[in-house]
Chain A
């Protein structure tokens, strides 16, 4: 499934999708077809079958035509290739660091003592505009 030829083809496709630019590495530079691919398929084994289909359908083609072919013939396999490449790339610690992304880090919540929206009187004006709900007890059937 993940033999060298498939990895080599996927690497070409991955670098076509995510090339080195703007200070960011190309996909293969962060192991998208190596350890990152193994990681992706370990947590998303459902993608392996579609990757194999993609390889069978388009493995003989260069990246651009291969992706167009997959989009036409097997959209699910096409989507799986995108998900594998992007998933592997953005699971990389290096990539996250370069992006300054710090998501999924525990930061204790601190309720605001006096939120800006109160200080600015924004909610006062909402209240001043009155209820936005209808009271069935005081309304009759819509005319």
Chain B
């Protein structure tokens, strides 16, 4: 294991830095206990024991993550801000961050570095790199089970179920430090300039309250922070800075497709990836395990557990793992005062804070806000617009696999080798608006050749071995992400009866692929088959809509200037609750058609730096 997680003092040790909190009063430091203090041993268990996010403080393997909460439905629903009569421990911080994934790592790191006292609550745990399946002979089999992305099927104690019976696409995520980055492919594209202006340009969706050029400096900074390998000059974007690392090798297979696109005069470019092509900032370069989507054992793939959390904790941030947030609490002024969470033993606690930042992904954040309904906010917190949970976008995903007579080298990282934006922008001659991004990806090992998880077929009996031999190492896939136009009927709600293992009401996702998306995908599938034909593939296989493809969870708390038609402003601050922010992909106004992590973390950095710069104007609870 090349990367070592930070070890050291308990995570509730305060930073030595001078405090720069929101309030101006010098006696601001508070460690409030609203309820009678718990027994010392109980307090120690929460604040110094299993709930603390340092690896050294994790419970022994085998017990980690077991959730023994009662089976009652949800936490007590007492008065707003109701810690009364609970007997629970209460922590205090300047800022509470909910979720330790991509955006949670970025905002916590920035705040801690700026001297804020930050607590982050994460329902999962630190990923254990020695437990990643890459090096086991059962790797491919495990990738389809406990290391898959669907939380309902995975069913770990820290996961919550999602009712997806009314959804065309199943949601995918990872609950733990690093968030879904732990299992992502690390494609690192940016939104294109037109993505921020779909209403103006194409009369669909809505314009964002910012432009590509507003975000470009943050894209370049997060490229450096995460360690992105790529080649500048891609004609799909305006000119900008260099990537911090040279591009990863594309392999002979992708070169074949690049030559084909050259003949077709179609766009292609070496893909940017948040995977290290060289050692960088103490991390090792990619070792070509080819297991990115089940955790990188080398630590070469960027995820905030390796890129941000170690420094955030050194700067004083307190990360509590195994802390599942049920709801955000509010006071009688309508301000957020913290959140209520349950630990793996089923004990309930409160963290109070002057500012609350949601970073729990577009399903998780919507779920918590809707579960935070109160007499003052009867439809859920920050939901006067009715848009919390609405406009869910997940990028309908199609897959075209091309098969070649000759071996095609597609080893190494599993993310995109090359990309094409040839059909990304609207063309008035087509019967749809907007477009798709293509990523060329490898097709996996022998189990996937025998039993494809994406496009392809199985052959059993006498022809089985010949089928596997002609597919294994002889195929490549164009992964086609289509733009997903916002539709208020595509939504996250609270399920009537489903709960997680703590009894907290679980989300229900309703999602249908729209007509524009279907036409868009069909057009791009046909073009991708043409691409493979030009590259010499003897045949192609198509999966026109992949159900288990909902990695990109976006849009359920969109940003905008009008409180009637948006949930947060252009800096991620809730219109209804001025000390509540949202930092994750929920704030996306439209989806674009690219993998969103680069944009999520860039928006998060932009928003949190605005919060820091304007801290003296920040309204906080008394």
In angstroms, Cα B445 to Cα A2, docked, is: 28
- Contact indicator A134/B425 (Cβ below 8 Å): yes
Known: A104-B134, A134-B201, A141-B200. A18 touches B464 (CB 8 A): yes
B235 within 8 A of A: yes
B262 within 8 A of A: yes
A89: chain B residues within 8 A (beta carbon): 450
B135: chain A residues within 8 A (beta carbon): 104
In angstroms, Cα B465 to Cα A21, docked, is: 7
B245: chain A residues within 8 A (beta carbon): 111
- Contact indicator A106/B287 (Cβ below 8 Å): yes
A29 within 8 A of B: no
In angstroms, Cα B137 to Cα A96, docked, is: 10
Q: Return the chain A residue nearest B154 by Cβ.
A: A46
- Contact indicator B424/A83 (Cβ below 8 Å): no
B426: chain A residues within 8 A (beta carbon): 134, 142
Q: Which residues of chain B from 291 to 334 have any CB-CB distance to chain A below 8 Å in the complex?
A: 291, 298, 300
- Contact indicator B446/A109 (Cβ below 8 Å): no
- Contact indicator B193/A136 (Cβ below 8 Å): yes
Name the one of A108, A111, A134, A142 contacting B288, with C-beta atoms under 8 angstroms: A108
Known: A17-B460, A86-B451, A135-B238. A93 touches B137 (CB 8 A): yes
- Contact indicator A21/B462 (Cβ below 8 Å): yes
Q: Which of B133, B202, B262, B433 counts the most A-chain CB atoms under 10 A from its CB?
A: B262
Known: A101-B472, A112-B249. A136 touches B145 (CB 8 A): no
A3-11, A52-60, A116-124 - interface stretch: A116-124
- Contact indicator A109/B469 (Cβ below 8 Å): no
B146 within 8 A of A: yes
- Contact indicator B249/A110 (Cβ below 8 Å): yes
A39 within 8 A of B: yes
Name the one of A39, A46, A116, A142 contacting B428, with C-beta atoms under 8 angstroms: A142
Q: Return the chain B residue nearest A125 by Cβ.
A: B262
In angstroms, Cα B204 to Cα A142, docked, is: 10
Q: Mark B140-160, 1 if CB is under 8 A from A, else 0.
A: 111011100000010000000
In angstroms, Cα B300 to Cα A84, docked, is: 32
Q: Mark B411-426, 1 if CB is under 8 A from A, else 0.
A: 1100000000110111
Name the one of A17, A99, A127 contacting B469, with C-beta atoms under 8 angstroms: A99
B259 within 8 A of A: yes
Known: A43-B141, A115-B250, A116-B255. A104 touches B201 (CB 8 A): no
Q: Which residues of chain A from 23 to 51 have any CB-CB distance to chain B below 8 Å in the complex?
A: 23-24, 39-40, 43-44, 46-47
B29 within 8 A of A: no
- Contact indicator B446/A96 (Cβ below 8 Å): yes
- Contact indicator B259/A122 (Cβ below 8 Å): yes
In angstroms, Cα B447 to Cα A43, docked, is: 15
Q: Which residues of chain B from 203 to 259 have any CB-CB distance to chain A below 8 Å in the complex?
A: 203, 211, 229, 231, 233, 235-238, 245-250, 255, 258-259
B267-275, B569-577, B607-615 - interface stretch: B267-275
A82 within 8 A of B: yes
Name the one of B194, B200, B466, B472 contacting A133, with C-beta atoms under 8 angstroms: B194
Name the one of A105, A127, A132 contacting B233, with C-beta atoms under 8 angstroms: A127
B601: chain A residues within 8 A (beta carbon): none
A75 within 8 A of B: no
Q: Shortest Cβ distance from B376 into chain A, in angstroms?
A: 39
Known: A43-B141, A104-B139, A133-B238. A139 touches B201 (CB 8 A): yes
A96: chain B residues within 8 A (beta carbon): 137, 446
- Contact indicator B262/A132 (Cβ below 8 Å): no
In angstroms, Cα B421 to Cα A42, docked, is: 43
B248: chain A residues within 8 A (beta carbon): 109, 111
- Contact indicator A117/B250 (Cβ below 8 Å): yes
A23: chain B residues within 8 A (beta carbon): 465
In angstroms, Cα B211 to Cα A122, docked, is: 31
Known: A24-B465, A91-B138. A129 touches B265 (CB 8 A): yes
Q: Which of A46, A104, A135 counts the most B-chain CB atoms under 10 A from its CB?
A: A104
B258: chain A residues within 8 A (beta carbon): 117, 122
- Contact indicator B141/A83 (Cβ below 8 Å): yes
In angstroms, Cα B464 to Cα A109, docked, is: 33
In angstroms, Cα B285 to Cα A69, docked, is: 49
Q: Shortest Cβ distance from B190 into chain A, in angstroms?
A: 10
- Contact indicator B421/A132 (Cβ below 8 Å): yes
Sort A-B residue pairs by CB-CB distance and give the 5 closest, nearest first: A87-B141, A136-B197, A106-B287, A22-B465, A109-B286
Listed by A's residue number, 13 A-B pairs whose Cβ atoms lie within 8 Å are A40-B141, A46-B146, A46-B153, A96-B137, A103-B139, A103-B290, A103-B445, A107-B288, A109-B277, A112-B249, A116-B255, A117-B250, A136-B211
Q: A: which residues have CB within 8 A of B?
A: 16-19, 21-24, 39-40, 43-44, 46-47, 82-83, 86-87, 89-93, 95-96, 99, 101, 103-112, 115-117, 120, 122-123, 125-127, 129-136, 139, 141-143
Q: B: which residues have CB within 8 A of A?
A: 133-142, 144-146, 153, 192-194, 196-197, 200-203, 211, 229, 231, 233, 235-238, 245-250, 255, 258-259, 262, 265, 267-270, 276-278, 285-291, 298, 300, 411-412, 421-422, 424-426, 428, 433, 445-447, 450-451, 458, 460-462, 464-466, 468-469, 472-473
